[in-house]
Amino acid sequence: MLEFLFLERKWEDDRLAIAKHLEGFSDRRSPIWLCMFPEGTDFSEAKKIKCNEYAKEHGLPGSHHVLLPRTKGFVACLKALRNSIDAGTQIRHSWRSFLEETQARSISM
């Protein structure tokens, strides 16, 4: 069963929503998959610039292709599920836009 949790981007509201949503999983013995998008938003050039400014101010490495992950929600999820998960896996993936792929194919032909 798919259960989605949509957040408001207001930490006090989101913290409570995360805890309430995940408490239903704390007693389950069935395996669960928790898929998160820790960047918290869509990637854009303006957001990349803002993110890299934040990284520089806090002594963190900048990035060209992704935003820094937002960790509060991730940590809240781990705390809520600490007694019901055995392991976690981080998977990162990226894809090119359709236009870039089309251009890449036409160049290589």
Domains of the chain by residue range: 11-85
Q: Report, as an integer, the average pLDDT of 41-46.
A: 85
Answer yes or no: is pLDDT of 36 > 90: no
Given a contact cutoff of 8 angstroms between Cβ atoms, the answer to whether 96 and 43 are in contact is no
- pLDDT tens-digit profile of 82-105? 877 777 777 666 555 655 555 555
Measure Cα distances from 76 to 15, 16, 64, 95, 99 in Å: 7, 9, 27, 28, 38
- Against a cut of 0.75, is the pTM above it? no
Check whether 56 has a pLDDT greater than 90: yes
